[in-house]
Amino acid sequence: MNNIIVYCEFEDGKVADVSLELLTKGRSLANQLGCKLEALIIGKDLKNAPSQVFPYGADVVYLADDARLEHYQTLPHSSIVIKLFQEQQPQIAFMGATTVGRDLGPRVSSALHSGLTADCTNLEIGPHTDAKSGKEYQNLLYQIRPAFGGNIIATIVNPECRPQMATVREGVMRKEIFDANHKGEIVNLDVNKYVKAEDFVVSIIERHIEKSKINIKNSPIIVAGGYGVGSKENFQLLFDLANAISAEVGASRAAVDAGFVEHERQIGQTGVTVRPKLYIACGISGQIQHIAGMQESSMIISINNDPEAPINKIADYVIVGNVEDVLPKMIKYYKQNSK
């Protein structure tokens, strides 16, 4: 049977959120296709890993457990994934669009000559007719993503090659428990059959990983700025408002590219996807690639001196004005009224 496999990232005893989100999506697609959902976990001390993924609907968990595999490395991890995919012939494979998945995915797709679509924002199943040959296909994976700098949305299919591979960024798919009591099969892989000694030619000399201090993904209120904020100095106004109303500061890609704030704050297809209860967009015009990462906010306020800015169409409130005039007033009247 050609199943769906999710490559699950595992670090410090935990399966990554992005992998659990992909399992959630994979479960619903597997139900639609009538196939199994499988998880592949590579790392060290994986005893507790299966119990973390079964509730998300995995029917089979492949484990490659070896001290040498503790941290992700391109060659050993890709050797395992490639060989397992050759053996299992999955129809669909998902990876997180992380520094791991974006390093691993293309390597695997090249070795298997299968199509890979990066940073998908939606995944669906549907039919396809090849425009040239007229050949019809059923149950293909629609890999949907903003393209061309986020100015259009493209649907990509892989009619002939398997697996159909896609990467998805953290936070794009929702993480939902399928069944807390769901149990599946555990398959322990004989690591030495999958990995060669020469796969370890690139060695990790040191690692400095810090817990990120910025947590936009889980903040209920976000004050986000775009290129229209104008400068790094003006961004301080956003931080001031965020401090006053206990919010996090986010940014559009244009603002990050312009150096106004750090990359960790980027919201959108190539940044973080957020679903806060309030999103205050300051000087953001609203390219698709940004909208893709915030459109599910419960309430959107857009502050823009251009009444025609595209983002205004999806905003609940549009304040027509300059960010540097409006934000100080918001801070002032919030403080006055909250007492």
Partner 1 sequence: MFNSKSKTQFYLKIYYMKGLKIIVLAKQVPDTRNVGKDAMTEAGTVNRAALPAIFNPEDLNALEQALRIKEQVPGTEITMLTMGPGRASEILREGMFRGADGGVLLTDRAFAGADTLATSYALSCAIRSIGEFDLIIGGRQAIDGDTAQVGPQVAEKLGIPQITYAEEVVKIDERTITVKRRLEHGTEVVAGAMPLLITVNGSAAPCRPRNAKRVMKFKNAATPSERTANPKLAEVAEGRPYLDIKEWGVANITCEAEQLGMSGSPTKVKNVMNIVFQAKESKVLGDTDNEINDLMQELISNHTIG
Binding to partner 1 in span 242-281, by CB under 8 A? 245-247, 253-254, 257, 263, 269-270, 277-278
Q: Does 333 bind partner 1 (CB under 8 A)?
A: yes
Using the rule CB under 8 A, give the single segment among 21-29, 42-50, 54-62, 70-78 that binds partner 1.
70-78
- Contact criterion met (CB below 8 Å) for 38 and 60: yes
Count of residues that interact with partner 1, criterion CB under 8 A: 94
Among 33, 111, 125, 187, contact with partner 1 (rule: CB under 8 A)? 111
Minimum CB separation of residue 174 from partner 1 in Å reads 19
Nearer to partner 1, 185 or 306 (CB): 306
337 in contact with partner 1 (CB under 8 A): yes
Amino acid, single-letter form, for residue 332: K
Positions in 76-105 near partner 1 (CB under 8 A): 78, 98-99, 102-103, 105
Task: Please state the closest distance from residue 49 (CB atom) to partner 1, in A.
Answer: 20
**Pairing, β 122-129 against β 136-147:** antiparallel
Collapsing DSSP to helix, strand or coil, 229 comes out as helix
Using CA atoms, how far apart are residues 157 and 339, in angstroms rounded to an integer?
56
- Residue 239 burial (C-beta neighbours within 10 Å; 0-12, 13-18, 19+): middle
CB of 218 to partner 1, least distance (A): 15
Which one of the spans 30-38, 43-51, 183-191, 302-310 is the region binding partner 1 (CB under 8 A)?
A: 302-310
Question: Degrees (nearest 5) of the Cα angle 332, 336, 337?
Answer: 120
Tokens matching residue 266: 């980027």
The Cα–Cα gap between 148 and 29 comes to 27
Rounded distance between C-alpha atoms, residue 58 and residue 51, angstroms: 10
Stretch that binds partner 1, among 43-51, 176-184, 231-239, 294-302 (CB under 8 A): 294-302
Report how far residue 108's alpha carbon sits from residue 65's, in angstroms, rounded to the nearest whole number: 20
Q: Kindly tell me which residue out of 118, 189, 216, 222 binds partner 1, with binding defined by CB under 8 A.
A: 118
Q: Tell me the closest approach of the beta carbon of residue 60 to partner 1, in angstroms.
A: 25
Give the 3-state secondary structure of residue 117: strand
Window 172 to 231, contacts with partner 1 (CB under 8 A)? 201-212, 221
Which residues lie closer than 8 Å to 61 by C-beta, 6 or more apart? Answer: 38, 39, 40, 41, 49, 50, 53, 54, 184, 185, 186, 187
User: How many other CB atoms are there within 10 angstroms of residue 70's CB atom?
Assistant: 15
33 binds partner 1 (CB under 8 A): no
CB burial class (10 A; 0-12, 13-18, 19+) of residue 210?
Answer: exposed
Closest distance of CB 247 from partner 1, Å: 8
159 lines the binding site for partner 1 (CB under 8 A): yes
Q: How many CA atoms lie within 13 A of 17 on its CB side?
A: 10
Q: Tokens 């400095």 map to which residue?
A: 208
Per rule CB under 8 A, is residue 151 in the interface with partner 1? yes
CB nearer to partner 1: give 63 or 108. 108
Q: Which one, 45 or 262, has the nearer CB to partner 1?
A: 262
Does position 125 interact with partner 1 (CB under 8 A)? The reply is: no
Which residue lies nearer to partner 1 by CB, 58 or 123?
Answer: 123
List phi, psi (to 5°) of 34. Answer: 70, 35
Given the rule CB under 8 A, which of 20-28, 48-56, 187-195, 283-291 is the region that contacts partner 1? 283-291
Return the number of the residue (190 or 210) whose C-beta is nearest partner 1.
Answer: 210
